[in-house]
Amino acid sequence: MILDAALPQGSLRRVPEVAELAEQFGVGCLWASETQHDPFLPGPLVYAHTRRLAFGTAIAVAFARSPTTIAHTAWDLAEASGGRFLLGLGTQVRAHVERRFGMPWPDSAVAKLREQIQAIRALWRCWQTGERLSFRGRYHSLTLTSPFFNPGPIPHPGIPIYVAGVNRGLVRLAGEVADGFHVHPLHSPEYLRRVVLPALEEGARRAGRSRGEVTVSASVMIATNPQEREFLRSQVAFYASTPSYRTVLAAHGWEEVGERLSALARAGRWSEMPKLVSDKMLEAFCVLAGPKEVPDALRARYAGLVDRITPYLPLVPGERQELWTALARTFGGTDGRSVAKP
């Protein structure tokens, strides 16, 4: 398994320090999320202060952007990094797309994301090979280009695209069209075995591909002390309250807990929600072990299930050093660009 890390939220001025530390630990890729800040902007700072470390988005909200803006940003980051950029896209949920980004929610999230990926790759082919741009789909039509707007070829045009999702539709889509799949932090080995891997296999089979062509990357909730344990209990409660994530709970027969959490969330009773997350649920969704025991626990939990692991709590200089040292000794040093195409 490749060891990755999550970039902490905060000022761009901290990115060089985090990137340098990640490279020292042998991290494969530093992932940025789209929560409080733009997920693409840290890229140039990562590349300027490292030589090997990859940088990617986990995730950028696809429906907040047009295929052309995504394609241009990814193209520039791939060129600037010498092929160290990984493009992770997700749909988000309807409320966020409509009310946080002010964009329309499609009639089919799976169909629109598939089309966006196809459109992005059509643009990349146009820029790299001179192929005429002629993409016509249900949601997007791209037929206009000229040398003035064409950035031209780059040395590393095979930009890996990762898809994020929870339910079977988006997992199948990843198997069909993506280079990688981002597993949501709210997951368990049982959910991976019963839902994710079969759906990936189905999607790959539909496209005449093998499951091995899709890299599975998991964000893993890890608690090494009581404080982290209770923080993750609150995170599990927050995620499990989302109705569209009920598939994960269903793998364990906990749908009723999810309904109760959703009711508390609608009422704004956030402080009461963690009380509904039992120790059994916490153990299902989190790795609970001392810092030195975490690597063995990860191996036992994820062997044969995932290819990349990212601790859910971000890499912060001066924090969790014992854990990161143990992880680096076991998993560090693998080239995070190994999934990139030539």
pLDDT tens digits along 181-207: 999 999 999 999 999 999 999 999 999
In this predicted structure, the answer to whether residue 342 has a pLDDT above a threshold of 80 is no
Name the amino acid, one letter, at 19. A
For residue 99, the model assigns a pLDDT of 96
In this predicted structure, the answer to whether residue 333 has a pLDDT above a threshold of 90 is no
pLDDT band at 334 (very low <50, low <70, confident <90, very high): low
Residues of the chain above pLDDT 90, percent: 96
- Beta-bridge partner residues of 32: 57
Name the amino acid, one letter, at 265. A
Of 244 and 176, which is predicted with more confidence?
Answer: 176
Over residues 329-333, mean pLDDT = 86
Instruction: Tell me the C-alpha distance between 22 and 53, whole Å.
Output: 8
Instruction: Tell me the C-alpha distance between 156 and 127, whole Å.
Output: 12
Instruction: Tell me the C-alpha distance between 90 and 88, whole Å.
Output: 7
Strands 308-311 and 215-223 turn out to be: parallel
In this predicted structure, the answer to whether residue 340 has a pLDDT above a threshold of 60 is no
What does the chain come to in residues? 342
> What does the block give as tokens for 249?
């709970």
In this predicted structure, the answer to whether residue 322 has a pLDDT above a threshold of 90 is yes
How many CB atoms neighbour CB 77 within 10 A?
23
Instruction: Tell me the C-alpha distance between 126 and 131, whole Å.
Output: 4
Q: How far does Cα 310 stand from its chain's mean position?
A: 9
> What does the block give as tokens for 45?
């700072």
3-class state of residue 282 by DSSP: helix
Over residues 35-58, mean pLDDT = 97
- Beta-bridge partner residues of 6: 31
Residues of the chain above pLDDT 70, percent: 97
Over residues 211-232, mean pLDDT = 97
| Dihedral of the alpha carbons of 312, 314, 320, 324, in degrees to the nearest 10 | 80
Name the amino acid, one letter, at 211. R
Model confidence, pTM: 0.94
How big is the chain by its Cα radius of gyration, in Å? 20
Name the amino acid, one letter, at 251. A
pLDDT, tens only, 139-154: 999 999 999 999 999 9
Instruction: Tell me the C-alpha distance between 50 and 257, whole Å.
Output: 45
In this predicted structure, the answer to whether residue 331 has a pLDDT above a threshold of 60 is yes
In this predicted structure, the answer to whether residue 232 has a pLDDT above a threshold of 80 is yes
Find, among 143, 145, 146, the residue nearest to 134 by Cα. Answer: 143
DSSP-based helix, strand, coil % in the chain, nearest 5: 50, 15, 35
pLDDT band at 338 (very low <50, low <70, confident <90, very high): very low
In this predicted structure, the answer to whether residue 160 has a pLDDT above a threshold of 70 is yes
CA distances from 52 to 25, 37, 80, 88, 340 (A): 12, 24, 13, 19, 13
Q: Which residue has the tokens 């060891």?
A: 3
